[in-house]
Amino acid sequence: MSEALSILKKYWGHDQFRPLQSDIVEAVLANQDVLALLPTGGGKSICFQVPAMMLDGICLVISPLIALMKDQIENLERKGISAISIHSGMSYTEVKKCLQQAAFGEYKFLYVSPERLETDLFEEYLPAIKPCLIAIDEAHCISQWGYDFRPSYLKIANLRKQLPKVPIIALTASATLDVQNDICEKLKFSKTQKRFQQSFSRPNLSYQVRIPSSKPHHLVELLKNNNQCSIVYCKSRKQTQEVARLLQQHQINADYYHAGLSSVERSVKQQNWISNQCTTIVCTNAFGMGIDKPDVRLVIHFAIPESLENYYQEAGRAGRDGKDADTILLYSPHEIQDLEKLNDLRYPDSNQLKKLYTDLMNYLQVPAGIGEGQSFDFDIVDFATNFKWNVLQATYGLQAIAQEGLLYFNEQNFKPSKIVFTTSKEALYDFEHNNPALEPIIKALLRSYEGIFDYPTNIHETRIAKISSTPIDLVRLKIQALHKYQVINYQPAAETPQVVLTKNRMYVDAFKFDLENLRIRKEKHAERVNQMIQYTTNETQCRSQIIGVYFNDLDIKKCGKCDNCKSDKKTELNDVEFEQINLKIFELLSQGEHSFQHIMKAIGTTNIEKVNEVIHYLISEGIIQVNEMGLLKTKKKGPR
């Protein structure tokens, strides 16, 4: 591992790995399939980037988030490591050029959105690219029982047939035991697979849930005298603006952030917050991906998230420096009913989905029997207005249709900047001579992007800024000047929602959904919502332990910091209760192996602490044990 440490020091500036990182790197280098569960801020990217730098060939990184791809590529380029991405919204010519460059060894990392894996062009170039490692980010997306299922992830397993000797590392910040097992099964992990799960314990965090008489007033009070870095999570784009305006009216240094802003606006707001020019960022869950700001002292949820996966990931952005931090969930009782109703909104019935699909195809003017592979810029507000859909209902419906594998709906499609020179080389030489201030930018463009003289080429302004030693804002101004002088044709980066059809439009009489899978997904969503409600309304159990049990981390001790631990409302486990729980556990385990969550559900108690105490006793006495898959099973034949 000495070489791994030297690479870590050279490119990332760290003298040593964080807990589990070195074990994961070692397993990858041993050519083993790896599932790594590292909570938010756990350093997932280093786990595949460091070993990839030690291997011959390119690392293929599969990610569903274009914004996250962009951030990671820019971070790698700042370190002098070459990387490129292929995603929906790129033309055939652009994709082909990227694949050719990757095949010629011009890049160390190739980031690909999962739907691109299915194209004939990608499959044609894959043998020439010769990946040394396949890294799958947001790996929970492969499980249709998880909270963010994406059908395109199921196609990743096909890579095993083409690249049988290439190891896979699957990474996620949060996955229940069922989802973990599903990930390994769907990716066809080898028998020598390794699983690594960092503890979900965050001992420096104080989890709190409050029911204030007035949420806005309470939020203002929390932040009024706060001069430290904070995040306030809201449920909608509109709410982020309203809450930010409220805080500003009370002289609180706050700004808002959501995915509907332009990339320039988001970049400016994000940078102002990172540099502490803005103390509090009010945002949707679009904020935080790829941001590793260690000194966040307070994370407030102004609305209840839909799942513990989302809540833990967002709350976990507090206190990454290891110092004490608070995460506070504010809610009103009526929000519980709203959350329970959300399930029907998230998963409309088949007739509604059929109508939505038909309206969408008509809006896009796609005839029946064709359309596969076509992509369309998509204005969902215009669509909803024309076909009389509620925007939220249409959004959720399109996500449900996407989970059936009929289309890919990207609410934020990033199109990188493009440049092509429009002058001859002789005329360019004269122009440089007469405009020396623009010469460094011209030289940086020509050195960085082969073929930029012949056809439009994707460029990254940050890369030009680094090569030319010019501030990024000045780079943009100089590129715009070159465009005005008609030396280049410059198309700035843009972001627009997009629909990509993954199958031909179905004929009306052939239209069908997998109703059983739809039912199960709806049921699983209801379970996740119920777990979030139980966490929110629980007034006795340690909140760290509730989170730990949900993610099958049974070793988390009472934190002593959360509102429930401090209120000391806990009840003791008496002998009668012990025996009742003990008998129920053995009744279940006599039928086979079960997860802790399944046992909790079957027993039908919300008192996690008491069940946990019985299970820990039975394990310590050698009566039951935990197998390699994290499931509980009997070691002896009956209760004590």
Encode pLDDT of 585-605 as tens digits.
Answer: 888 888 888 877 777 777 766
CA distance 17 to 19: 7
Structure tokens at 340: 């329970």
Give the other-Cβ count within 10 Å of 434's Cβ.
9
Tokens found for residue 488 = 């280049």
In angstroms, the Cα distances linking 546 to 340, 554, 608 are 20, 10, 7
**Structural domain 205-331, CATH architecture:** 3-Layer(aba) Sandwich (3.40)
The CA distance from 472 to 611, in Å, is: 57
Residues 6+ apart with CB under 8 A from 476: 461
Residues 635 and 622: beta-carbon distance below 8 Å: yes
- CA 599 – CA 366 distance, rounded (Å): 49
Strand order across the 417-421 sheet? 457-459, 417-421, 488-491
Task: Give yes or no for a contact between 497 and 413, defined as CB atoms under 8 angstroms apart.
Answer: yes
Determine contact, residues 598/531, Cβ cutoff 8 Å: no
Residues in the chain with pLDDT < 50?
638-640
Amino acid 508: pLDDT: 81
State how far the Cα of 336 lies from the Cα of 518, in Å rounded to an integer. Answer: 24
The length of the chain in residues reads 640
**Intra-chain end-to-end CA distance of the chain, in Å:** 47
Distance, CA of 253 to CA of 279 (rounded, Å): 6
Q: Does 2-197 match 339-415+497-520 in CATH topology?
A: no
Beta-carbon count within 10 A of 308 CB: 23
- CATH, domain 339-415+497-520, list 4.10.140.10, 1.10.10.10, 1.10.3720.10, 3.30.420.40: 1.10.10.10
SS3 at position 310: helix
Q: Taking CA 232 as the corner, what is the angle to CA 230 and CA 233, rounded to the nearest 5 degrees?
A: 140
**Tokens for 149?**
């299922």
Closest CA to 167 of 258, 71, 250, 51: 51
For residue 64 the two structure tokens come to: 């569903």
Q: Find out whether 76 and 49 touch, Cβ atoms under 8 Å.
A: yes
* pLDDT given for residue 27 in this prediction: 95
Q: How far apart are CA 44 and CA 264, in angstroms?
A: 27
Alpha helix segments (H runs only) across 365-495: 380-387, 391-403, 425-434, 439-448, 461-468, 472-484
Question: What is the per-residue pLDDT for 569?
Answer: 55
Residue type at position 491: Q
Tell me the C-alpha distance between 556 and 609, whole Å.
11
User: Structural domain boundaries of the chain?
Assistant: 2-197, 205-331, 339-415+497-520, 417-492, 538-634
Nearest alpha carbon to residue 50 among 91, 109, 93 = 109
Topology given in CATH for the domain delimited by 2-197:
Rossmann fold (3.40.50)
The closest of 205, 155, 150, 203 to 172, measured between CA atoms, is 150
Q: What is the dihedral of CA 175, 180, 184, 186, to 10 degrees?
A: -70
Give residue 326's pLDDT.
95
Helix pair angle (515-537, 308-315), 10° resolution: 50
Smallest CA-to-CA distance from 60 within 126, 109, 120 is with 109
- Global pTM reads 0.74
Are β-strands 131-136 and 168-172 bridged in parallel, bridged antiparallel, or unpaired?
Answer: parallel
Its CATH architecture, for the domain 538-634, is Orthogonal Bundle (1.10)
Q: Which residue has the tokens 């079960």?
A: 594
Q: Looking at residue 638, what is its pLDDT?
A: 47
